[in-house]
Structure 1
Amino acid sequence: MPTPTISQTTRPTPPDAVAGLWLAAGLPAAALDRLQLSGADPVLPSSFAVGTAAQASLGASALAAAMLWQQRSGRWQDVAVDMRHAVAEFRSERYLRVGGEPAPEFRDKVSGLYRCGDGRWVRVHANFPHHRDGVLRILGCLHDPAAVRSALQKWDAEAFEATASEAGLVVAALRSFDEWDRHAQGQALHGMPPLTIERIGEAPPQPLAALPATGARPLCGVRVLDFTRIIAGPVAGRTLAAHGADVLHVSAAHLPSIAPLVIDTGRGKRACQLDLRDPDDKRALHKLLHGADVLIQGYRPQGLAELGAGPEAVARARPGIVYVTLSAYGHVGPWAGKRGFDSLVQTASGFNHAEAFAAHSDEPLRLPAQVLDHAAGYLLALGAMAGLHRRAAEGGSWHVRVSLAQVGQWLRGLGRVEGGLQAPDPCFEDVEDLLVTLPSGFGELRAVSHAGRLSETPAYWALPSVPLGTHAPEWLPRA
C-alpha cells in the first residue's frame, strides 16, 4: 500500500468551514454574521480536524434554524456553538446513561477489522442479525472472532468485499487515500459538495406560518417524517425536533434496530410503525404525506423507492415536500447502490489507514467518534431547513442528498491537526457539565444537551424517547 503524506497546508478556519456548507446549501451569506464560534482543535485525539467538523456542521444547522425563525418572526437572534460542546454531542451515544447506567453494548462480537490472506485488512459490520448471518454463511464459519479470522485467511480483501457486497452485506476493504482517489467511486465523488439540493417538482411558494412575538421555536408547526435508523439520519430528526418540529419516526416491526441508539436519537420524537408492504399501511403513509413538510430517509439506496415512496413519487403525492436522502457512498458512481455505515466508509475511503500512519501504528485506527455519521446528521438537518427556505421563496419540491463518503471528502478538506493524536479523550466525567436529565420510556436519561445555543429560542426536546411503535401514525394539530 502506498505510503501517505500528511499535508501541512493551511487549514480552513471553523467560520470558513461553516461558510462553505452554508453556500453549498444555497443560503444567504449575510446570515453568517449571526454565528459565534468558540474553541479550537484538537479536542479529540485525532490527526483530523474533527472539532471543526463538529462545530461547523452543527453550527450551520443551528444558524439555519435561526434564519427560519427570522423569516417567521421578523427578528434575528444570536447563535453560538462551542467546539467542546459540539464534539460531546458528536459522541452522544457514548455519554448516554439510562437509569444511571451506561447504555448496553450494541456491537456484535464479530464486528471489526480482520487481516485477510493477501495481508490486507477488511472491516466486517455484523450489528444487524441478517448482516452477521450473511457474512458467516459466506465464510462458512462459527459466530466467533477467531473463526472469522481463520476463515478470512482464505480470502483476498477486495474479493471478499465484492462478494459480500453482491450479497447485500456490509464489508469494506481497507484503502489508503491514494487508493480511494484512484478508485472509480472516489473519482465519481471528486469535487462534489457534502450536500446537494435539487428541485424535483413544481408547487407554489409555501411560506411557513408567522410566529407569535415570544415563545415559539423556529420549526413550530413543521411536520417531519423520519424513516431512518442507527445514527446519521436519526440525528437529523433529533436536531429538527430540538428546534420545535413535530417529528414522527416511522419504523416497521420486522426491521432490526439498535436499542441504545433508538434511546439516544429518539429524543423529541414520536414513534409509529408502518409496514409499507401492507396496503393499509401504505394508505396510512399517503395520508401522512399530505400533511408532511419534510421526509428524511436513510434506508438502503432505492429501498423506499421500491415501495412507492421514492423522491419523485412523494413529490407527486405531496407537491412542496422537502425530501432528504442519506446514502453511504453517494448517488453517482459504481457504488451508488452499495450499503454502508460510518465505520465502513472510514475504512474504504482511507481514514483508518491515514490515522494509523499518523499514529505510527501497524494496525488501522478508527476516528475517535462516528464523525461521518454525526456530521451527516447535521447536514441533513441543514438541508431540510434550506429546502423549507427554498420552498417558501421559490416554491417547488426539493430533494436534499447527503452521503457519508461526501462528508468524508469534506472532512479531508478541513486538513490535518499537527499533534492532534496527543489530545486527551474526554470521559463521561469530563462532559458532565454538558448533560441534561430527561425522562423517557426507558427510564431516566442523562444525555448531552444540544450544542447549538440560540439566544431567543433555546433548543430542547419537548418529548421523551419512547419505544418504537408507541404512537399512532398521525400528526399532532399544528400549533
Structure 2
Amino acid sequence: MPHPLLNAAWSALDLPAAALDAIALRGEGELPSYFAVTDLAAASVGAAALAVQQLMVAQGGASARVQADRRLASMWFGWSIHPVGWERPPLWDAVAGDYATADGWIRLHTNAPHHRDAALAALGCAAERTAVTQTVAAWRGLELEEAVVAHGGCAAAMRSMDEWRDHPQGQAVANEPLIAFTAADSCVPRPWAWTRGRPLAGLRVLDLTRVLAGPVATRFLAGYGAGVLRVDPPWWNEPGAIPEVTLGKRCARLDLTRPQDRTVFEGLLAQADVLVHGYRPAALERLGYGESMRHQLNPSLIDVALNAYGWTGPLAGRRGFDSLVQMSSGIAHHGMQRQGADRPVPLPVQALDHATGYLIAAAVVRALIARLSEGRLLQARLSLARTARLLTDVPPAQTAGMPLAAATEADFSPQLEQTEWGPARRYRPPVAIVGAPMAWARPANSLGSAQPHW
C-alpha cells in the first residue's frame, strides 16, 4: 500500500527508489493520536534500516529483505526499557508542564536546572507548582514565552497549525528539506573494519547530543556495530532518559573550557568517522570548534547536526525540545480541538524526537554510502520542527484504527539487560534485516561511566 511518510523519508535520502521494494511494514495497532504517529514510527525506523541495507549492498553484499514492525516501532517511540526490581527516575521536573495563561496555554520545559532557574526568574515566583500556576495565569502567552527565552530558558506558547504556517519560522521550516545534505569540497577516504552482518562495525561515532533525538540516532547506529562514544560536560545529567538511550554506548565526560580536556577532545574528533551533535547553532563555534575547524581537524568527518526549530528563520537558534515544538507548531492545539478538551493534547509519545533520531541515523548511513562508493563527503542537518511538518502534512485517518495492544511476553527480548542500575527487559528490535540482526554489545550505563578514548 502507498506509504507517504516512508516515501518522503526515502526521497530525502536520495537513494534508489527501487530499494523500497525490499521493505515490508508489518504489525497491527495504532498509537492513540489525531496524527499518523504509528505510520511515522514505522516510516522513520524503516527508512533507517533500509539505508543500512543499501550500505550492505555498497559493501558488496546481496540485497536483503527488510521488515519493519509497526507495533514494535510504536513501542520504541515510548520507552523500550522496563526495569526489573528498580525504578527509572522520573522524566519530568516537578515544575515542567502546561499552564493556562491569560489568553491560552504555554509549556515550560524545566528539566535542566538552569532552564528551571530561567523560567522562575522570568516569573519571579517560587519553585512550587501552585505558585507557578497562579503567576503564569496573569501573563499573555507569547509575552511569557519571550520573557523565559530572554532569561535563557525554554518555553512555548500554544499556537494553532494555521498560526504556525503563517509565522515566519513556520514558513522558513516549510521551505527547508527534511534532511539538508551538503557536500564538502573534498573527501579524504577513510575505511572502517565492517564485518559480514555488522555493517557499522569498526565505525567511530562521536556523540555530542542530549535528550532525545540525537541519542536515539546513535543508539540505532550502535545496534549495527558502530562504536559510539558519548561525551557530556561534567555538570550535565538527564537521569530519566539515560537508561533508555545509552544502550550500546560508552559515555564519558569532558570540560571543553579546560585546555587538557580540549586536547583530548581534539584527538577524539580527529579519529572519529562520524560526529552527531545537537547543540544550538553556533554553540560549537563559541567553543572554538566551528565547521571549518572540525573539517581541519578531520577532513573525512561525516558531520550531522540537529536542532529544534530549524536552520533558517527568526527562531532558528532558539532552545527547544519535542514538547515545545508540538506546542509551537499547532500539534497540541489540533489535538485539543479534535478531542474537545480544555487543555493542550500532545502526541502520545515524543514522536518528533524519535522520528528525527531515526532520520539522523539514516542520514549518517547515507553519508557513509556516499563516502564509500561515490567518493563524496556529505554533511547533514535536521530539525524537530521540520519533522513536525512532515507529520502534519499527511492527513490523518478520519476514523480511529485498531488500538495498539498492551505489551506481551513476545514483545520482549528473551535475555535480561544487565544495566548498572539492575536487570531490565528491553523490547525486541523494531526492524529486521536478513543477515544483519540489530544487537547491542553493551547494556545501558550512566553518563561519565567510561574514559574519553576510543
- CA distance in structure 1 between the aligned counterparts of 2:337 and 2:452, rounded to whole angstroms: 49
Which one of 10, 14, 27 corresponds to residue 15 of structure 2?
A: 27
TM-score by length of 1: 0.90
Q: Which residue in the other structure is 2:306 paired with?
A: 326
Which one of 158, 161, 171 corresponds to residue 142 of structure 2?
A: 158
Q: Does 1:105 align with 2:110?
A: no
Contact 1:193-1:410 within 8 A present in 2 as well: no
Alignment of 1:134-213 (within 5 A): 134-206=118-190, 208-209=192-193, 211-212=194-195
Superposed CA deviations along residues 358-410 of structure 1, whole A, max 9, x for unmatched, are: 11212210110100000010001011111111122333433211100000000
Q: Which residue in the other structure is 2:30 paired with?
A: 43
How far the C-alpha of 1:201 sits from its partner, in A, is: 4.0
> Which SS does the other structure have where 1:57 is aligned?
helix
Q: Which residue in the other structure is 2:221 paired with?
A: 240
Kindly provide the amino acid, as one letter, of the partner of residue 9 in structure 2: L
Q: Which residue in the other structure is 1:3 paired with?
A: none
Q: Does 1:357 align with 2:337?
A: yes
Q: Which residue in the other structure is 2:375 paired with?
A: 395
Q: Which residue in the other structure is 1:416 paired with?
A: 396
Contact 1:322-1:384 within 8 A present in 2 as well: yes
- CA distance in structure 2 between the aligned counterparts of 1:244 and 1:268, rounded to whole angstroms: 9
Kindly provide the amino acid, as one letter, of the partner of residue 453 in structure 2: E
The number of residue pairs the alignment matches comes to 452
How far the C-alpha of 1:424 sits from its partner, in A, is: 3.7
Q: Which residue in the other structure is 1:250 paired with?
A: 231
- CA distance in structure 2 between the aligned counterparts of 1:152 and 1:200, rounded to whole angstroms: 47
Which one of 278, 283, 287 corresponds to residue 267 of structure 2?
A: 287
Which one of 389, 397, 411 corresponds to residue 434 of structure 1?
A: 411
- CA distance in structure 2 between the aligned counterparts of 1:308 and 1:30, rounded to whole angstroms: 43
Q: Does 1:306 align with 2:306?
A: no
Contact 2:58-2:373 within 8 A present in 1 as well: no
- CA distance in structure 2 between the aligned counterparts of 1:252 and 1:185, rounded to whole angstroms: 31
Contact 1:227-1:297 within 8 A present in 2 as well: yes
- CA distance in structure 2 between the aligned counterparts of 1:385 and 1:472, rounded to whole angstroms: 26
Hey, which bits of structure 1, 4+ residues long, moved more than 4 A?
Answer: 205-209
Contact 1:111-1:123 within 8 A present in 2 as well: yes
Kindly provide the amino acid, as one letter, of the partner of residue 149 in structure 1: T
Superposed CA deviations along residues 178-213 of structure 1, whole A, max 9, x for unmatched, are: 00011110011124332111113412444555x55x
Q: Which residue in the other structure is 2:201 paired with?
A: 220
Aligned Cα RMSD in Å?
1.8
Q: Does 1:455 align with 2:443?
A: no
Q: Could you list the runs of 5+ residues in structure 1 that have no partner in the other structure? A: 1-11
Q: 1:64 to 1:18 in 2, by over 3 A?
A: same
> Which SS does the other structure have where 1:151 is aligned?
helix
Contact 2:272-2:301 within 8 A present in 1 as well: yes
- CA distance in structure 2 between the aligned counterparts of 1:356 and 1:425, rounded to whole angstroms: 21
Q: 1:67 to 1:433 in 2, by over 3 A?
A: same
> Which SS does the other structure have where 1:463 is aligned?
coil
How far the C-alpha of 1:283 sits from its partner, in A, is: 1.1
TM-score by length of 2: 0.95
How far the C-alpha of 1:139 sits from its partner, in A, is: 0.9
How far the C-alpha of 1:102 sits from its partner, in A, is: 4.3
Which one of 39, 62, 66 corresponds to residue 53 of structure 2?
A: 66
Q: Does 1:229 align with 2:206?
A: no
